[in-house]
C-alpha cells in the first residue's frame, strides 16, 4: 500500500513554436519545482521575470482560451500545457515563456506530452494529496453548458459536445491515467466553427492560426490538413480542455466529471466552485496545529466504516488521508467519558489501553477503505513497542496518527501514535487481521 508520491520533471526541456493569437515565435521551457509548488508560469521576456500562479483566482478572460493575469502581466491559452502536465502525472513545475502565449503546435497537447517525456519525471518525497469528492458538485450555467462532478474512486471525464444547430454532436468518456491521456486524449486537436473564426481572422486577431493547428468546421464540411485522428476528436479535445481548466482549482481530484457542452467559461466556473467547496470542507477541521487534511470523515461516515459504537467508538472525526497508507483522526476527550468515573476517580486519566484501541481504529479506517475489505472487522493479532509518555486528561484533544507499513491480503501492520498539543503521549506497532462479520 505504498503511497503515491508527488512528481516533478527530472530535467528542464524546451519547445519552440508559434503562438496562436499573436503569431509570434515563442520558446516554452518546462523546469522542475519543489514539493507542494504546483504550477507557475514565468514571463522571462519581461523585466523581473514575473511569475503567475496557475490558479483560478488569476483567470481574467475565457473567450476562446483561458487567460491568467497578475496585474498587467498576462499569459494566454494556458489550458493545453496544464492539461498535459496533469494528464502525465506532473504535480510541480515552472513553465517559462518568452512571450505571452505557449506555442500552439498542432492544436493538441501532444507536443507538451512529448516535451514532458523528454524532460522525464522525478519522484519527490511528499505523498500526492488528492481530494476525493464525497458529494455531487453541480454547475448549471442556465445557457446550456452543465458540469457535474460525482463521487468516484478514480478520476474520470465524460464529455458530450454539441455544436450550433446540433452539428458535430459527439461523446467521449474515460478514466484519466498517464497512459490513457497520452494515447486517447493528448492527440485531439482544437477546433472551431468558420462563422465564429472568420470575423477574428478578418481583424487579424488569430495571426498564428491555420489548418495545421486547428480543425475548422464550415457548414457540414470539416476542413483539416490531415484526416481526423478520432471519430470523436472534438469531444476528446473538450475533455483535454476540461482537465487543464479544472486543475486551476489547485487540487487533483478523485471524481467523475460529467460535462455537457463544456467551454473555458463553464470549466473555470467549476474550478472556482471546486476551490470554494474544498475550502468549506477544510473549515470543518478543528483549529489545531495538525497536518492539513485532504478529506474529512465525520462521526456518521466513521460509523459506516467501523463496526464500533458508543462507548467503544474512539474516533470522532478523520481529518487527513495522506496517500493510501496514512490517516489522522481526532478524539475529543471530555469529562463525561464513561471510563473516567472508575479510572482514578478524583484524578481522571484516559486509560492507555483505550489509546491503543483508538490507534487501531484509525489504522482500520485505512484498511477498510479498500473496496474488497469493506464490511469486514479488524481483530488484534499483536501489539509491540507500546510506550506511554504523558497523561491524557479531560479537555484534551487526542490526535491519532496511523501509517500502514505492511499489507498482505487481510493481514496488516501499522505504526501509530497519539499526540496532544503536538506532543506524543503514546505510540506502538500494531498487527491485526480482517475477517468477515
* Helix boundaries (H) for 292-336: 299-305
Q: Please list, in sequence order, all residues whose beta carbon lies within 8 angstroms of the beta carbon of residue 221, skipping any fewer than 6 positions away.
A: none
Rounded to an integer, what distance in angstroms lies between the CA atom of residue 76 and that of residue 197? 17
Catalytic residue among 21, 76, 256, 264: 264
Rounded to an integer, what distance in angstroms lies between the CA atom of residue 365 and that of residue 352? 20
Rounded to an integer, what distance in angstroms lies between the CA atom of residue 21 and that of residue 10? 31
Closest CA to 181 of 130, 124, 247, 270: 247
> Which grid cell is 5?
508520491
> Rounded to the nearest 5°, which phi and psi values hold at 208?
-100, 5
120: helix, strand or coil = coil
Rounded to an integer, what distance in angstroms lies between the CA atom of residue 133 and that of residue 257? 10
Closest CA to 368 of 400, 430, 324: 324
Q: Which residue's C-alpha cell is 478578418?
A: 202
What torsion, rounded to 10 degrees, do the Cα atoms 151, 153, 154, 157 define? -20
Q: Do 26 and 97 contact (CB within 8 A), yes or no?
A: yes
Residue 256 designated active-site: no
Catalytic residue among 76, 308, 343, 347: 343
Residue 343 designated active-site: yes
> Which grid cell is 169?
454532436
> Rounded to the nearest 5°, which phi and psi values hold at 126?
-115, 135
Q: Do 103 and 16 contact (CB within 8 A), yes or no?
A: yes
> Which grid cell is 106?
498542432
From residue 388, how far is each of 214, 350, 355 by CA, in Å?
66, 11, 9
The 8-class DSSP code of residue 433 comes to E
> Which grid cell is 23?
503569431
Secondary structure (DSSP) of 83-103 = HHHHHTT--BEEEEESSSS--
**Beta strands, E only, 98-239:** 121-127, 130-132, 137-140, 146-150, 155-161, 170-175, 191-193, 215-218, 221-223
Which residues does the annotation mark as catalytic?
A: 264, 343
Amino acid at each position: 500500500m505504498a503511497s503515491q508520491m508527488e512528481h516533478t520533471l527530472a530535467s528542464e526541456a524546451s519547445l519552440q513554436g508559434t503562438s496562436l493569437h499573436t503569431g509570434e515565435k515563442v520558446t516554452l521551457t518546462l523546469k522542475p519545482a519543489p514539493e507542494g509548488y504546483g504550477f507557475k508560469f514565468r514571463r522571462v521576456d519581461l523585466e523581473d521575470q514575473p511569475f503567475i500562479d496557475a490558479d483560478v483566482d488569476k483567470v481574467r478572460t475565457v473567450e476562446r482560451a483561458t487567460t491568467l493575469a497578475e496585474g498587467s502581466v498576462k499569459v494566454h491559452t494556458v489550458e493545453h500545457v496544464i492539461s498535459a502536465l496533469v494528464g502525465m502525472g506532473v504535480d510541480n513545475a515552472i513553465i517559462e515563456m518568452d512571450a505571452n502565449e505557449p506555442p500552439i503546435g498542432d492544436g493538441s497537447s501532444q507536443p507538451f506530452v512529448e516535451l514532458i517525456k523528454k524532460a522525464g519525471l522525478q519522484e519527490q518525497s511528499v505523498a500526492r494529496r488528492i481530494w476525493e469528492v464525497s458529494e455531487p458538485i453541480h454547475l448549471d450555467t442556465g445557457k446550456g453548458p452543465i458540469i457535474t462532478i460525482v463521487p468516484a474512486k478514480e478520476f474520470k471525464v465524460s464529455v458530450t459536445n454539441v455544436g450550433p444547430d446540433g452539428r458535430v454532436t459527439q461523446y467521449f468518456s474515460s478514466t484519466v491515467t498517464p497512459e490513457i491521456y497520452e494515447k486517447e486524449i493528448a492527440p485531439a486537436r482544437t477546433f472551431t466553427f468558420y462563422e465564429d473564426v472568420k470575423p477574428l481572422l478578418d481583424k487579424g486577431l488569430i495571426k498564428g492560426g491555420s489548418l495545421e493547428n486547428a480543425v475548422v468546421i464550415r457548414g457540414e464540411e470539416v476542413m483539416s490538413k490531415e484526416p481526423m485522428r478520432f471519430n470523436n476528436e472534438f469531444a476528446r479535445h473538450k475533455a483535454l480542455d476540461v482537465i487543464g481548466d479544472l486543475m486551476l482549482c489547485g487540487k487533483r481530484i478523485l471524481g467523475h466529471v460529467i460535462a455537457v457542452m463544456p467551454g473555458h467559461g463553464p470549466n473555470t466556473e467549476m474550478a472556482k466552485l471546486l476551490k470554494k467547496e474544498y475550502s468549506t470542507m477544510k473549515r470543518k477541521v478543528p483549529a489545531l496545529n495538525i497536518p492539513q487534511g485532504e478529506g474529512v470523515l465525520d462521526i456518521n461516515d466513521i460509523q459506516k466504516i467501523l463496526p464500533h459504537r458508543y462507548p467503544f467508538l474512539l474516533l470522532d472525526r478523520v481529518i487527513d488521508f495522506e496517500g493510501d497508507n496514512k490517516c489522522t483522526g481526532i478524539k475529543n476527550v471530555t469529562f463525561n467519558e464513561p471510563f473516567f468515573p472508575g479510572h482514578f476517580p478524583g484524578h481522571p486519566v484516559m486509560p492507555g489501553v483505550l489509546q491503543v484501541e483508538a490507534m487501531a481504529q484509525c489504522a482500520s479506517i485505512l484498511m477498510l477503505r479498500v473496496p474488497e475489505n469493506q464490511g469486514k472487522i479488524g481483530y488484534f493479532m499483536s501489539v509491540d513497542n507500546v510506550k506511554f509518555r504523558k497523561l491524557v486528561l479531560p479537555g484534551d484533544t487526542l490526535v491519532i496518527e496511523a501509517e500502514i507499513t505492511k499489507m498482505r491480503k487481510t493481514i496488516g501492520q501499522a505504526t501509530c501514535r497519539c499526540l496532544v498539543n503536538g506532543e506524543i503521549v503514546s505510540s506502538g506497532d500494531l498487527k491485526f487481521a480482517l475477517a468477515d462479520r
